[in-house]
Amino acid sequence: MTSQTIASRVLKTEPINWRKLQFIQQDNFKEWINNGDAKLLESLMKYNFVDPFKVWENDGVLYCLDGRHRYLDLVKVAEAEFDVPELLPATFIDCENMQEAAELVLVYSSAYAKITQQGLLEFVQTFDLNFPDLKDILNIPEFDSFEFEALLHQGEFGESTEKITPSSLKDSFIFPPFSILDTRSGVWQDRKRKWISLGFNSQETREDVELIAKSGQSTAIYELRNKMRESLHREPTWDEIIDYAKQKGLHVYEGASIFDPVLCELLYKWFCTEGGSVLDPFAGGSVRGVVAGVLGYPYEGIDLREDQVEANRKQASILSLENVNWITGDSNEVLDRLSMAADFLMSCPPYADLEKYSDDPNDLSNMPYAQFKEVYFSIIKKSVAQLKDDRFAAFVVGDVRDKKSGFYYNFVSDTIQAFREAGMELYNEVILVNVVGSLAIRVRRQFNGGRKVGKMHQNVLVFYKGDPKKIKENYPELNLGDDLEEIASAE
């Protein structure tokens, strides 16, 4: 028997700037199984970073062979204001070329996740890997390697001469049209950054306040904001709120965000007719209007605050968008004189009294919930009346607790009821999973103090007006691709 030597391919282990890592595998390469995502994050939070990245250095670029999910979770905890070192250890592995590095990526596939068939097919074809030589050393649970090889070699025996190009839900719909949309994914956040690069100024929009809340601010921050408004007799800036909150020893999550432009993009492209007009009765900030304008959907938004409307118009002017408009006024009154025949109704209404937006008595956020509900139902009814038949509406909502009792108002169900009374039925419901933010930090106190679970989702409610049988003729099959040409043309 000829003896063989097991040689070491480890070159060295030393600290690297982990944020500069590049990845060989595509985004759909793995999917989580057995709650692996939560397990990995929990392990990282409990035991810190104990397993070095495995990397291959080629022409000064560090390619991560093992540790992609650790990288993604490090990004999450960094966004939640945990102190993550700039440098973390990595073990450098000797590889002759990209193909050999790609083979090692397969070998190093972790037990937390499994490789998808589509992801593996694209990966093997991209790097021209010899799958039969690799399959016996791969840990791919419940994977039919025989069926996979048949797909891989389809066409070699006369069935077809075309090279297999796996179809992807992402290629057709940007993101798969599932009942859960996860904004925490790297792909979603990358797309969001491209949209934000257009120049949204969150400091000039109400959504700076509204969605900072959903990113993780505590109730104490909102109460502080309201007290400052009363004392100063004006609207405090966000910087003033942050500084004062810190003086008071309050925890502040400073990852200020805006209404998610990626969600806007999806809802417009999925549920609005091509080039159709959009009505937004609770316009708030500029994002929904700007995204509509960039994508070629005429937009009409209504907001109570003149300063908000002026800020929105400024944003649209900077981007030279001529097909968007905002009206200053109370939607309950403006809709009485508006004649639009909209193709899509979309909005994100005030979440009851979660945050007070102004001192105007007509502002819904100033009303007791019973009064809020009455006016809210009226605005929805009048908005639906402005919508053409055989069209969709989408409202982004989230339930809110009564500040005195702690019980939920049942705002989501009330929204569904309001649309039903207005003549529209619930057609889809999507759970929008939000970035954890500082929720991971404050949920312990929140839960122990009153058994209130940390809320990190919103409800995207999609309604339909008319005959569902006509949907297919008004809304053709989608093949959107995953590019951002519309965004690039606006930069």
- 149 and 187 inside one domain: no
Q: What separation in angstroms does the CA of 475 have from each of 104, 147, 338, 343, 427?
A: 45, 35, 26, 12, 15
Tell me what percent of the residues of the chain surpass a pLDDT of 90.
37
Does pTM top 0.85 for this prediction?
no
Are 283 and 324 spatial neighbours (Cβ–Cβ below 8 Å)?
A: no
Give one DSSP letter per residue of 310-334, joined into a string. Answer: HHHHHHHHHTT--SEEEEES-HHHH
Residue 52's domain comprises 10-166
Tell me the mean pLDDT in the region 164-173: 46
Q: And the tokens for 24? A: 């060989």
Tell me what percent of the residues of the chain surpass a pLDDT of 70.
71
Q: And the tokens for 307? A: 């300063």
For residue 49, what is the domain's CATH number?
3.90.1530.10
- pLDDT at residue 107 in the model: 80
Q: And the tokens for 210? A: 């509204």
Average pLDDT of every residue of the chain: 79
The lowest-confidence range among 218-232, 279-293, 395-409 is 218-232
- 112 and 208 inside one domain: no
pLDDT at 405 > cutoff 60:
yes
10 Å CB burial of residue 212 (0-12, 13-18, 19+) is buried
- 122 and 203 inside one domain: no
Q: pLDDT tens digits, residue range 260-292?
A: 899 999 999 999 999 999 999 999 888 999 999
Q: How confident is the model at residue 121 (pLDDT cuts 50, 70, 90)?
A: confident
pLDDT at 170 > cutoff 80:
no
Q: How confident is the model at residue 128 (pLDDT cuts 50, 70, 90)?
A: confident
Asked whether residue 297 is assigned to any structural domain, the reply reads yes
- pLDDT at residue 227 in the model: 81
| Nearest residue to 421 via CA among 372, 369, 376, 471 | 376
| Nearest residue to 95 via CA among 83, 107, 104, 85 | 104
Asked whether residue 347 is assigned to any structural domain, the reply reads yes
- pLDDT at residue 33 in the model: 54
- 198 and 139 inside one domain: no
Q: What separation in angstroms does the CA of 72 have from each of 65, 97, 212?
A: 14, 25, 22
Q: pLDDT tens digits, residue range 181-222?
A: 998 888 888 888 888 777 665 344 444 333 333 333 455 666
- pLDDT at residue 300 in the model: 97
Tell me the mean pLDDT in the region 415-424: 97
Distance of CA 471 to the CA centre of its chain: 26
> 21: helix, coil or strand?
coil
pLDDT at 358 > cutoff 60:
no
For residue 361, what is the domain's CATH number?
3.40.50.150
Q: What is the spatial order of strands in the sheet that 87-93 belongs to?
A: 10-17, 87-93, 53-58, 61-66, 22-23
- pLDDT at residue 151 in the model: 63
- 122 and 201 inside one domain: no
Q: Which of 166, 200, 233 marks a domain boundary?
A: 166
pLDDT at 384 > cutoff 90:
yes
112-151 CB burial, b ≥16 within 10 A, e <16: bbbbbebbbbbbbeebebebeeebeeeebeebebeebeee
pLDDT at 466 > cutoff 50:
yes
Q: Which of 97, 132, 166 marks a domain boundary?
A: 166
Helix (H) or strand (E) holding 431: strand 425-433
Asked whether residue 246 is assigned to any structural domain, the reply reads no
pLDDT at 68 > cutoff 50:
yes
Task: Look at the chain and report how many structural domains it folds into.
Answer: 2
More confident residue, 479 or 168: 479
| Nearest residue to 242 via CA among 207, 214, 206, 218 | 218
Are 67 and 43 spatial neighbours (Cβ–Cβ below 8 Å)?
A: no
CA distance 317 to 327: 15
More confident residue, 360 or 253: 360
Q: How confident is the model at residue 336 (pLDDT cuts 50, 70, 90)?
A: very high
Q: How confident is the model at residue 408 (pLDDT cuts 50, 70, 90)?
A: confident
Asked whether residue 61 is assigned to any structural domain, the reply reads yes
Partners of 278 in the beta sheet?
299, 344
- pLDDT at residue 125 in the model: 73
Asked whether residue 3 is assigned to any structural domain, the reply reads no
Asked whether residue 223 is assigned to any structural domain, the reply reads no
Are 26 and 119 spatial neighbours (Cβ–Cβ below 8 Å)?
A: yes
- 194 and 143 inside one domain: no
> 106: helix, coil or strand?
helix
- 354 secondary structure, DSSP code: S
Q: How confident is the model at residue 489 (pLDDT cuts 50, 70, 90)?
A: very low
> 132: helix, coil or strand?
helix
Give one DSSP letter per residue of 372-429, joined into a string. Answer: HHHHHHHHHHHHHHTEEEEEEEEEEE---B-TTT--B--HHHHHHHHHHHHT-EEEEE
Q: And the tokens for 383? A: 């908005």
Positive/negative CA dihedral, 385, 390, 396, 402: positive
- 148 and 292 inside one domain: no
Asked whether residue 200 is assigned to any structural domain, the reply reads yes
CA distance 471 to 482: 24
- 277 and 396 inside one domain: yes
- 190 and 270 inside one domain: yes
- 150 and 213 inside one domain: no
**Who contacts 181 (Cβ-Cβ below 8 Å, separation ≥6)?**
175, 188, 263, 266, 430, 431, 432, 433, 460
- 91 and 192 inside one domain: no
| Nearest residue to 355 via CA among 225, 236, 460 | 225
- 136 and 274 inside one domain: no
Asked whether residue 316 is assigned to any structural domain, the reply reads yes
Q: Count of H helices and E strands in the chain?
A: 20, 15
